[in-house]
Structure 1
Amino acid sequence: MAEEKLAVLIDADNVSYANVREMMEEISKYGNPTIKRIYADWTKPSLSGWKNVLLENAITPIQQYSYTTGKNSSDSALIIDAMDILYSEKVNGFCIVSSDSDFTRLATRLREAGMTVIGFGEKKTPQPFISACNKFIYLEILKSRAPEGKVEKKVAKSKTDGELLKKVDQGTVQLIIESASDLADETGWTFLGNLGNFILKKKPDFDPRNYGFPKLLPLIRALKKFEIDERESGQGNIRHIYLKLK
């Protein structure tokens, strides 16, 4: 199966360059970023910190002058480029990097055209933009690397350390329980491989790393509400994980 080709479009006015390396590593999990562009008025001294980051990650800066005070002209340039790329049929999906709700309609339009849209932004990102994406990843969690042997302590503890690690709220617990129930077979068992994708359809910003867990399974185990069953797949040593509400 061919690797997904992705266009990465970054709004430099609404994100920090501090997370770019981790962000590009994250994007590589979903496909090959064949187009990488970043938009801003590069004449602004405040953006000088981006220079080395762009060189290191081979990201093309797109100059967009601020013609009117208080207006973000780079938004328009990004949207126009996104539509040009869409019609060029050179990619299978888009990564839109911004904490700005102005890209909500763009994300919706790209998905209408059959594109996968992955959003990246800070925790302050408005909900409409998050909901318009197939998946939304908070930039704050990309530097959060919790050791797997210690993650269960995170479930009842709120720890920031400048990152996005928070207590698993009752709403999230209920989301997991209801989603597992929706997917369960007649015996009550749910295949873990389907559960994560199903939850994302309901809540695009769901990510176990938001709560300090590297994967969904450690989060499920920490909740202590499910039986876990590991089954042989019949192909090599691959094991499939199933869960059932206690």
Structure 2
Amino acid sequence: MAEHGNDSRLAVLVDCDNTSPDILEYALQVVAQFGRVVMRRGYGNHSTLANKWQEALVRMAFSPCLQYQYASGKNTSDIALALDAQEALFDDRADTFCLVTSDSDFAYLCRKLRERGATVLIVGEAKTPDALQNASDQFFMWQPAEVISAPTPEDVATTEPKGAPPQPAKKRRPRALMDAVALLSGNTTDGKVGLGALGQYMKRTNPSFAPKVYGHSTLSDMVRSYPDLLLTQGQGNGFWVSLKPAT
């Protein structure tokens, strides 16, 4: 897998037929941490690109890639996106790919890109199937802004008093983190695994993993919430995680 960093060359390829223009700004914010965007393309049919996507693609400096449907039910846009991604990889224009889609049909493309050493990111909605999420190196979930509507009597009855502090997200401790520490620390001489290495492993096994999903602000806070895990600070301000010894 290619190492991402400020020198990575990113291709952001958007399946416009499958998602909303509102996702575009979020996708660019996400990929900014991985390197320089060298390709911005949006793929769709005439009705998609000429209507809801036109303003967003122009404003965000994306190249529209119009694909006519030669037969009903055939999505030529998906094929064009996949071919452009492979071409950009082979001629070394990009080494990191961000696919903006929730369509599981792209899972095979993700696997092929990664086989060739590319890093693959997916920005999609909550409906994105596990098959696509797990085919990527990292999955970022976009959630549309809630539609504001007039409150119903039931809403009014259950609404918190004005000025009340927001309720914190419920903190959870997934078993997968415990299993990861046991596995990774078991292969070391001191029974410890670096906090950064633990986070990378969790992302590799579950691309949608993030401490905030489980109600924790950081991975270190999440580790501290486990009664059977121990977080220690080593030399150079590095943090290490281990299983607490049995008493």
TM value normalised by structure 1 = 0.79
Residue number in structure 2 paired with 1:245: 243
In the TM superposition, residue 212 of structure 1 has moved relative to its aligned partner by: 4.5
- Give the SS at the match of 1:26: helix
Q: Which of 205, 220, 224 is the aligned partner of 1:217?
A: 220
Equivalent pairs, count: 220
Query: Is residue 41 of structure 2 the alignment partner of residue 52 of structure 1?
Result: no
- Give the SS at the match of 1:132: coil
In the TM superposition, residue 61 of structure 1 has moved relative to its aligned partner by: 1.2
Taking the TM superposition and a 5 Å limit, the aligned residue runs for 1:1-246 are 3-44=7-48, 48-140=51-143, 153-156=168-171, 168=172, 173-184=174-185, 185-233=188-236, 239-246=237-244
Structure 2 CA distance for aligned equivalents of residues 67 and 213 of structure 1 = 49
In the TM superposition, residue 2 of structure 1 has moved relative to its aligned partner by: 5.9
Q: Which has the higher helix share?
A: 1
Counterpart of 1:206, as a letter, is F
In the superposition, relative to structure 1, how do residues 112 and 227 fare at CA in structure 2: closer, same or farther (>3 Å)?
Answer: same
In the TM superposition, residue 190 of structure 1 has moved relative to its aligned partner by: 2.1
Identity of aligned residues (%): 30
In the superposition, relative to structure 1, how do residues 140 and 34 fare at CA in structure 2: closer, same or farther (>3 Å)?
Answer: same
Counterpart of 1:244, as a letter, is S
Unmatched 5+ stretches in structure 1: 144-149, 157-167, 234-238
In the TM superposition, residue 11 of structure 1 has moved relative to its aligned partner by: 0.3
Unmatched 5+ stretches in structure 2: 147-164
Structure 1 CA distance for aligned equivalents of residues 198 and 166 of structure 2 = 20
Residue number in structure 2 paired with 1:147: none
In the TM superposition, residue 123 of structure 1 has moved relative to its aligned partner by: 1.7
In the superposition, relative to structure 1, how do residues 217 and 49 fare at CA in structure 2: closer, same or farther (>3 Å)?
Answer: farther
In the superposition, relative to structure 1, how do residues 77 and 214 fare at CA in structure 2: closer, same or farther (>3 Å)?
Answer: farther
Structure 1 CA distance for aligned equivalents of residues 184 and 166 of structure 2 = 26
RMSD: 2.7
In the TM superposition, residue 178 of structure 1 has moved relative to its aligned partner by: 1.2
Larger radius of gyration: 2
Counterpart of 1:133, as a letter, is S
In the superposition, relative to structure 1, how do residues 52 and 218 fare at CA in structure 2: closer, same or farther (>3 Å)?
Answer: farther
Q: Would you say the 8 A contact 1:98–1:121 is kept in 2?
A: yes
